[in-house]
Amino acid sequence: KGFSKGNKLKKLGMKAQDTCELFFEDCRVPASAVLGEVNKGFIYLMQELPQERLIVGNMAIASAEACFEWTRSYVKDRKAFGAPLANLQTIKHRLATLKTEITIGRTFA
């Protein structure tokens, strides 16, 4: 009884943050330590989900922008066939597509 920690959850991203199940059984909390109304904790959590999702979306866009800039810098410096990769039409097209998708994501995030 009390507090126990469950299994670590497998996630797609932010693997450095260990996310796991938390169980609270018959925990006693003094009235002076209660935050909000009793038995409303789940509702409070659900009210914050839209904000949390927005933050995660913004983090994804920021990561994509950083990766794009690193890639753009790399293809300007990396040479193949006697010229920078950035001069190849397929690379230009792919970078343009990526930048467009990132810009759309930033616009609607």
- Among the listed residues 21, 37, 52, 101, the single catalytic one is 52
Task: Respond yes or no: is residue 25 known to be catalytic.
Answer: no
Rounded Cα distance between 12 and 27, Å, is 32
Q: How many residues does the chain have?
A: 109
Interacting residues of 66 by C-beta distance below 8 A, sequence separation 6+:
none
> Tokens standing for 100?
């467009």
Active-site residue set: 52
